[in-house]
C-alpha cells in the first residue's frame, strides 16, 4: 500500500477541493487530459517537453518503520548526503516523512544499498518488489498545469501503474522550474515508451543521465 500526496498552491486550495466536490455541477468540472486513439481520431493531449527514459537507473521505494531508523542512520546519511568515492550516480534520491509517521526512501538499485538492506532488513518493507525506471521531464514550469497529468493519462490507458516524484531544478524569469519523475515498473518500460510515442510525445529514448537530483522532504 502507499499514500499519494498531491500538492497544490495554498491560495488555490479551495478551488482544488471544489473540483472533487459534489457541490460543483458536472458540466463545470474540468475535463481530464484526453489521449487520442486510432478510433476517435482526436488530437492527443501532449506537451512540448522531451521525455528522458533513464533505463540505466532502476529505482526502488522502501518503507522504514520509525522505531528502526537509528539502525540505518549511517547508510541513510551515505545515501542522501555523503556518498563515498566510487558510489554510482543516481537519477533521483528522495526521503519523505508523512504526518502519519511513514518514512519512505526512494533510491537507485546500487550494490552497497542493496547489500545493506539485505543484511539488515529490520524495519524495512518493499525490499522484494520490482524495481522501477524513471521517465523524467526537466525544467518544466512549476506553475504549469497538465504536464504530469498528460503522462499519467497515457500510462493509465495502457494499464501501467506509476509512482511520481518531483524536484526543484532551478528558476527562470517566469518562476521556479521542476524536474518531474514518473516511475514505471522495469518490466513495462518498453510498453510505456511505445505508448508515449504512439500518443505523440517526444521521447529521447533509453539512456542514462548525468543529471543528479536530490529531494529531501
64/113 same-domain check: yes
In a domain, 189, yes or no: yes
Residues of the chain with pLDDT > 90, as a percent, come to: 38
CA 131, CA 58: separation in Å to the nearest integer? Answer: 6
154/188 same-domain check: yes
135: exposed, middle or buried (Cβ count in 10 Å: 0-12, 13-18, 19+):
buried
Q: Which of 25-29, 51-55, 178-182 holds the top average pLDDT?
A: 51-55
186/115 same-domain check: no
Residue-averaged pLDDT of the chain: 79
In a domain, 16, yes or no: no
158/188 same-domain check: yes
146/201 same-domain check: yes
When pLDDT is cut at 50, 70 and 90, the band that residue 66 belongs to is confident
In a domain, 147, yes or no: yes
In a domain, 9, yes or no: no
Give the mean model confidence (pLDDT) for residues 33-59: 67
89/184 same-domain check: no
Domain with 180 in it: what CATH number? Answer: 3.30.70
pLDDT tens digits, 157-188: 999 999 988 888 777 766 677 788 999 999 99
CA 152, CA 164: separation in Å to the nearest integer? Answer: 9
CB neighbours of 94 closer than 8 A, spacing ≥ 6? 104, 105, 106, 107, 165, 167, 214, 215, 216, 217
In a domain, 31, yes or no: no
Q: How far is CA 190 from CA 4, 58, 60, 149, 187, in A?
A: 25, 14, 18, 20, 8
Higher pLDDT, 111 or 142: 111
pTM of the model: 0.75
In the 8-state DSSP scheme, what is residue 81?
T
In a domain, 199, yes or no: yes
Q: Which of 125, 157, 174 is the last residue of a domain?
A: 125
Question: Is residue 22's pLDDT more than 70?
Answer: no
In a domain, 34, yes or no: no
96/188 same-domain check: no
151/199 same-domain check: yes
When pLDDT is cut at 50, 70 and 90, the band that residue 36 belongs to is very low
In a domain, 174, yes or no: yes
Q: Answer for the pair 164, 147: CB distance below 8 angstroms, yes or no.
A: no
Higher pLDDT, 144 or 115: 115
Q: Answer for the pair 22, 172: CB distance below 8 angstroms, yes or no.
A: no
First CA to last CA distance, the chain = 20
Question: Is residue 83's pLDDT more than 80?
Answer: yes
* pLDDT score for 78: 95
Q: Which of 109, 125, 141 is the last residue of a domain?
A: 125
* pLDDT score for 145: 77
73/108 same-domain check: yes
96/145 same-domain check: no
88/192 same-domain check: no
49/135 same-domain check: yes
Q: Structural domain of residue 173, as residue ranges?
A: 43-54+131-216
* pLDDT score for 133: 95
Give the mean model confidence (pLDDT) for residues 16-39: 53
Q: Which of 110, 125, 140 is the last residue of a domain?
A: 125
Which range among 66-80, 85-99, 126-140, 197-211 shows the weakest confidence by mean pLDDT? 197-211
* pLDDT score for 34: 43
The tally of domains found in the chain comes to 2
Handedness of CA 74, 79, 84, 88 (dihedral sign): positive
Amino acid at each position: 500500500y502507499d499514500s499519494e500526496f498531491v500538492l497544490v498552491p495554498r491560495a488555490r486550495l479551495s478551488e482544488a477541493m471544489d473540483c472533487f466536490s459534489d457541490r460543483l455541477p458536472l458540466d463545470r468540472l474540468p475535463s481530464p487530459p484526453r489521449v487520442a486513439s486510432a478510433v476517435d481520431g482526436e488530437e492527443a493531449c501532449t506537451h512540448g517537453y522531451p521525455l528522458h527514459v533513464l533505463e540505466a537507473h532502476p529505482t526502488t521505494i522502501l518503507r522504514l518503520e520509525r522505531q528502526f531508523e537509528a539502525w540505518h542512520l549511517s547508510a541513510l546519511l551515505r545515501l542522501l548526503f555523503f556518498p563515498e568515492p566510487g558510489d554510482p550516480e543516481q537519477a533521483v534520491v528522495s526521503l519523505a516523512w508523512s504526518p502519519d509517521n511513514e518514512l519512505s526512501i526512494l533510491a537507485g538499485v546500487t550494490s552497497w544499498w542493496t547489500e545493506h538492506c539485505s543484511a539488515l532488513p529490520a524495519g524495512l518493507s518493499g525490499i522484494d518488489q520490482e524495481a522501477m525506471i524513471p521517465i523524467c521531464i526537466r525544467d518544466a514550469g512549476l506553475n504549469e498545469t497538465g504536464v504530469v497529468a498528460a503522462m499519467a493519462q497515457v500510462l493509465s490507458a495502457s494499464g501501467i501503474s506509476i509512482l511520481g516524484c518531483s524536484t526543484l531544478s532551478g528558476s527562470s524569469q517566469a518562476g521556479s522550474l521542476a524536474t518531474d519523475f514518473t516511475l514505471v515498473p522495469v518490466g513495462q518500460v518498453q510498453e510505456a515508451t511505445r505508448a508515449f510515442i504512439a500518443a505523440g510525445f517526444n521521447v529521447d529514448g533509453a539512456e542514462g543521465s548525468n543529471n543528479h537530483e536530490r529531494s529531501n522532504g
